[in-house]
Amino acid sequence: MATSRIVVISESFHDLPEAVALLKASGHAVTYVEGLIPWSELAPADRRALQDADAVVMGRVLGIDAAAFALAPKLRVIALHTSGSDNVDVAEATRRGVLVTNVKGVNADQCAEFAIGLMLCTVRQILTGDHAIRAGVWTSRTMTSMDVCGSTVGVIGFGQIAKAFITRAKALGARILVHTRTQNPSLAREYGIEYCSLDELLRQSNIVGLFASLTSETRRMIGARELSLMKRSAYLINIARGELIDQAALIEALHKRQIAGAGLDVFEDEPLLQSPLFALDNVVLTPHQAGLTRGGKTGAALRAARNALQVLEGGVPKDALNPTACAAAKSQ
């Protein structure tokens, strides 16, 4: 097998020995770029490596569009070690004969347990209690909180992470409503859930969790109108994508106490270094860390690396989002 050039652009891959060893054993030339650097902003040496790259393995580097693809004319595959792919113009990749793969579901358990933790931290006012005791006021700020047991939890989206979350939330004694495009009665029976419309879910739920993929249809699916349907005592939890929520509308709703609070791991603009959210005491914020356990990161990196190597060997991984790109490549 001829030696190919692989460029890894990631904030974590280079610190995962198993994944590094896998690429090293492949015999291909590997260039590591530490950080989620847009292709157009790479250092000169890394730009030259990208120009010769047959494969790019990366995290959620934004803006992979036609202009970015022009910087990598030899590219055959982008192997994402993330579950989403909204940062890549997949249609443009297909036109250029570039396969795009992701690792959907690889860290479903890790993300689900984080969502449970974020929900409990937010609803049960755990951070408020921490801040109170450090300020010497003991329980005066945390005399009561909402019960999770017996509550109605609305789940938007019904993928692998949502299913793992539902299993855990039901163990806490919650009733589960689900809004999804495709309703499968057998799955409803298996998971003990009730399907309903988005509006009905928002009206009934004490806690609303976002687990949907980001598409043109779901972008800002939760806006001012949707927030107005929620109970004033309800909480919103999002570990999926920040762009699912109109962030300005959410900030206003939180500021006016239109809803009780929110727990957010993802944001419209990342990294979130300044935001009106920082001044609000009814929101818990974390830096897109739901899947970032050692096992989750290693599993995602290994799967992405295997996807890239399979393409370099002439195969089409099961994780390919655009398998028709192979036909496009042959016709060029």
What residue spans define the domains of the chain? 5-106+293-331, 108-285
φ, ψ for residue 281, nearest 5 deg: -95, 5
Q: Which of 81, 96, 241, 303 is catalytic?
A: 241
* Residues of the chain with confidence (pLDDT) below 70: 1, 140, 327-332
Q: Is 5 a catalytic residue?
A: no
Strand 194-195 versus strand 207-210 pairing type: unpaired
The reported pLDDT for the residue numbered 2 is 73
SS3 at position 90: helix
Contact predicate 21/44, CB 8 Å = no
Q: How far apart are CA 74 and CA 299, in angstroms?
A: 27
* CA pair distance 95, 15, nearest whole angstrom: 34
- At 192, list the tokens: 């003990």
If we measure between CA atoms, which residue out of 237, 288, 221 comes closest to residue 84?
A: 288
- Is 5-106+293-331's fold the same as 108-285's? yes
Paired strand residues for 33: 9
The reported pLDDT for the residue numbered 328 is: 63
187 CA to centre of own chain? 23
Extended beta strands in 207-272, E state: 207-210, 235-238, 261-264
Residue type, 188: A
Indicate the DSSP class of residue 322. Answer: -
Which pTM value belongs to this model?
0.88
What is the C-alpha separation between 319 and 301, in angstroms, rounded?
A: 13
Are the beta carbons of 155 and 133 closer than 8 angstroms? no
Indicate if 113 belongs to the active site: no
Q: What is the CA radius of gyration of the chain?
A: 22
The structure tokens listed for 27 are 């015999």
Predicted confidence at residue 66, as pLDDT, reads: 98
Q: Is 6 helix (H, G, I), strand (E, B) or coil?
A: strand
pLDDT for 332: 60
108-285 architecture in CATH?
3-Layer(aba) Sandwich (3.40)
Alpha-carbon gap, residue 321 to 100, rounded angstroms: 6
Torsion of CA 296, 19, 8, 25, to 10 degrees: -160
User: Would you call 19 helix, strand, or coil by DSSP?
Assistant: helix
Contacting residues for 61 by C-beta, under 8 A, at least 6 apart: 9, 36, 37, 38, 39, 87
* Beta pairing partners, 106: none
| CATH 3.40.50.720 corresponds to the domain 5-106+293-331 | yes
**Nearest-10 crossing angle of helices 126-134, 108-123:** 50
Q: Residue 241 catalytic?
A: yes
